[in-house]
Amino acid sequence: MKVLRIVANIQAPDITPARRFYQDILALDVIMNHGWIATFGAARPMNVQLSIASEGGSGTPVPDLSIEVDDLDTAFEAMSAAGFPIEYGPADEPWGVRRFYVRDPFGKLVNILIYN
């Protein structure tokens, strides 16, 4: 048996605010939308990972999601300009990433990162 996919599910009373955060700013495609569930993703292959953590590193809380991007500064500026609450960073971490924490429209703590 092989795991083919891991999907993170976020409960929300209204899924429409997800478009602004995940599609408009993070440029993920809407892969599926049934009105009660929307799935965001990309046509390109991505690594499947599942992290279990006792802390978020550097004394931060464990984020609900981690999203690697190719341009952290642009992501940070877009999230800030859109009014999403930045809760940490941007910070260069000793394990080789630059990152910031932001709250998505559903209150989930999202770790946006790039490898240095």
Cis peptide before 90 (omega within 30 of 0): yes
Per DSSP bridges, beta strands 97-103 and 86-92 are antiparallel
- How would residue 10 be classed by pLDDT, with cut points 50, 70 and 90? very high
Q: What is the mean pLDDT of residues 83-112?
A: 98
What's the pLDDT at 47?
82
pLDDT at residue 1 tops 90: no
What's the pLDDT at 101?
98
Q: Could you give phi then psi for residue 70, rounded to 5 degrees?
A: -95, -10
pLDDT digits (tens, 9 = 90+) for 66-84: 999 999 999 999 999 999 9
pLDDT digits (tens, 9 = 90+) for 28-56: 999 999 999 999 999 888 787 889 899 99
What's the pLDDT at 44?
85
